[in-house]
Chains A and B, each alone.
Chain A
Amino acid sequence: MKIIVAIKQVPVRDSSLHIDSSGHWIDEDDLSYEINEPDAYALEEALQLKEKHGGEVVALLAGPERGSQTIREALAKGADRAIHIECDDLASLDTLGIASRLAAAIKDEKPDLILTGLQSDDLGLGQTGVVLAELLGIPHATIIMQVEAGEGSIKVKRELEDGWFQHVAMPLPALLTIQSGISKLRYATLMGIKKAKTKEVRRVSAGDLPPAAAATVTLERVYLPEKKKETQLIEGSPKEAAAKLVEKLKFEVRVI
């Protein structure tokens, strides 16, 4: 089974974010980056499927040079090779533009399965995978908890809302977006890290791909959210703050 895993590099969780001087994006200078967490689970699922059924896992990433680090980590964990679409202009594209690039870069790969995370931790639009499936003309399913591969088809467990689930079968090739937390993530071994250095990374320049259509939605301004409620911040040492809070819970909220 040949599996492509589309991964994204995002700022490290709990980074301190500052809006840049243009007001269009965050200041990237002092940020560290890591694999988007849901994509890490998609990679893990791909590696487990390969362990069960054999085949190949190919990591696919679009982004600037710094993306190489995230690719190396995917290779160290066990991906067989990678495709890096090198581009600095992701911010000027919308989801359709990015998905078109991903589709063009894997045109000749003919995978059985494409996996990606259900959404990104930065933009959180949650649709690159679904759009990619439409562009490739293959079926898809989202928010997947479990994958059972059969002969030419798969059966997946989809998460619905409020604790409901559903099994769905579909023919291959197909695309799945994977839910976070469905398995335990592996660490790269020393051997894996060593091997990663010899694995193939196919570099694709965005200029060699068909030009993406002009974005139809544009991010115009980034800002700190306005508070919906006036929060009473309670100051003091932990002990003092706790005592003051309990006073309020007793006399204002009346729950104690």
Chain B
Amino acid sequence: MSGVLVVLEHRGGAYNRMSWEALAAGQQLAASGQPLSAAVVGNDLDALNSELAGNKLDKGYRVEHALLRNYTADGYVSALEQLIKKLEPSYVVFPHTYQVRDFAPRLATRFGQVLLADLVGLRKDGDTFVFVRQLFQGKLNADYGHTGSGPCFLSVQAGAFRAESLEAGSTGVEAFAPQLDANAIRNKPEEPFREAAQTVDLSAAPIIVSVGRGIKEQDNLPIMEELAAALGAELAASRPICDNGWLPMERQVGSSGQTVSPKLAVGISGAIQHLVGMKGSKTVVAINKDENAPIFEVADYGIVGDLFEVVPALTEAVKKAKGS
């Protein structure tokens, strides 16, 4: 058993960019001389072939079968189980996407293993690796180790590894045809859909003011709206605010909402699902009463204080600065 296998994800004929971040993590694991391979799963994968072959790998695999045209956990688990049994890698690496969350724990169970999910880092410690993930919604970090003989299953958080560091190359891509039985695929998925046309494009906003649970109730939202108006910013929110119906879903930033990269993000929310969506921000200002709130880890400027005092004061100061 040796080597690193990275499982890439795609949708609509294109790779999910998190796939390349997972490959970067795989390169780090393989740096000590283990062979590195990557696999893509689906049906009719011609369009994805050249981008896979253009990476520096020891081998690429196209796992193809007509029953893999649409994603199902049963189909993916069975196909990848067969590939892993053939390759016997030491590590299997995934991007931590919703799809991976759906099938990778089940796949790991087939090998008597668990998925070390949502890694933010890894480092070598002697002959083994230490895997870093977040606990308590990002308030604490934890080092994990892997023992035992089976392959070690890992998924990596969006933005935690840099795809820019990937080396280009020319790799042979081999077809792998798994044996699949239509009767063993129990879920019947329909076509994905969107609920409504988006009318707000947060990804194009140069400045975003983001509100979280700290606002306490809907009636308090105007103080955030006033700050956004003063700054000429779009108002965004973390998930619970939109779940409550206080703001429309299209204003949600985070792993299940929009991903933004504004010049300035003023945030009072710090849940990791939200931070993942705003990692690309050029400058981050955090306002939070808890000095240990995870948002201060990514903030350039921070004010520790009560938002009900700080935000109105900030609105006034912005108006004054713009007026003069």
Report which A residues bind B (CB closer than 8 A): 11, 14, 17, 19, 26, 94-96, 99, 121-127, 130-131, 133-135, 139-143, 159-171, 180-182, 213-229, 231-234, 238-239, 241-243, 245-246, 248-250, 253, 255-256
- For residue B259, which residues in chain A have a CB less than 8 angstroms away from its CB? 162
Are B301 and A143 neighbours in the complex by a CB distance under 8 Å?
no
Q: Tell whether B296 is near chain A: CB-to-CB under 8 Å.
A: yes
Which of chain B's residues has its CB closest to A184's CB?
Answer: B244
CB-defined A-B contacts under 8 Å, sample of 9:
A26-B140, A126-B101, A126-B117, A127-B105, A159-B98, A216-B146, A222-B140, A242-B314, A255-B283
Q: B246-285: contact bitstring with A at CB < 8 Å (1 yes, 0 no)?
A: 0001100001111100011000000010000000000111
Check if A238 sits within 8 Å of B105, measured CB to CB. Answer: no
The answer to whether A160 and B134 touch (CB under 8 A), given A131-B114, A228-B297, A255-B264, is no
Binding site for A on B (CB under 8 A): 73-74, 97-99, 101-106, 108-110, 112-118, 130, 133-148, 150, 186-195, 198, 206-207, 231, 239-240, 243-244, 249-250, 255-259, 263-264, 272, 283-286, 290, 292, 294, 296-306, 309-310, 312-314, 316-318, 320-322
Contact partner, B255, options A14, A17, A161, A224, Cβ 8 Å: A161
- Which residues on A sit within 8 Å (CB–CB) of B264? 249, 253, 255
Residues of the B chain whose Cβ atoms lie less than 8 Å from the Cβ of A225:
134, 138, 140-141, 294, 297
Q: A253-B264, A255-B264 are in contact. Are A228 and B298 (CB under 8 A)?
A: yes
A235 to B185, alpha carbons, bound, how many Å?
59
How far, in angstroms, from A225 to B299 measured CA to CA in the complex? Answer: 14
Q: Are A214 and B296 in contact (CB under 8 A)?
A: no
Closest Cβ of chain A: how far from B323's Cβ, in Å?
Answer: 11
Q: Which residues of A have CB within 8 Å of B320?
A: 246
- If the complex has contacts A160-B98, A168-B190, are A222 and B243 also in contact, measured as CB distance less than 8 A? no
Instruction: Give bound CA distance, A117 to B140, whole Å.
Output: 21
A220 touches B144 (CB 8 A): yes
CB distance from A94 to the nearest CB of B (A): 5
Cα of A94 to Cα of B144 in the assembled complex, Å: 11
Give A228 to B300 CA distance when docked, in angstroms.
10
B105 and A246 contacting across the interface, CB-CB below 8 Å: no
Across the interface, do B310 and A238 meet the contact criterion of CB distance under 8 Å?
A: yes
CA distance A141 to B305 in the complex (A): 41
Q: Is the CB of A220 within 8 A of B74?
A: no
A142 CA to B105 CA, complexed, in Å: 11
Across-interface contacts of B310 in A (CB, < 8 A): 238, 241-242
CB < 8 Å neighbour of B140 from A224, A228, A238:
A224
CB atoms of B142 and A222 under 8 A apart:
yes
* With contact pairs A164-B194, A225-B134 given, residues A125 and B302 touching in the complex (Cβ less than 8 Å): no
Q: Beyond A181-B243, A231-B286, is A164–B193 a contact (Cβ under 8 Å)?
A: yes
**Which residue of chain B has its CB nearest to the CB of A248?**
B301
Do the beta carbons of B303 and A241 come within 8 Å of each other? Answer: yes
- Complex formed: what's the CA distance from A159 to B243 in Å? 13
Q: Are A232 and B147 interface neighbours, CB within 8 A?
A: no
Q: Is the CB of A14 within 8 A of B290?
A: yes
Q: Is the CB of B257 within 8 A of A141?
A: no
Contacts of A169 in B (CB 8 A): 187-188, 190
Residues on A with C-beta less than 8 A from B142 are 219-223
Write out the residue numbers on chain B whose beta carbons fall within 8 Å of the beta carbon of A96.
108-109, 112-114
A171 contacts which chain B residues (CB < 8 A)? 186
A234: chain B residues at CB < 8 Å are 301-303
- Asked if B145 contacts A246 (CB within 8 A), the reply is no
Query: A17 to B117, alpha carbons, bound, how many Å?
Result: 22
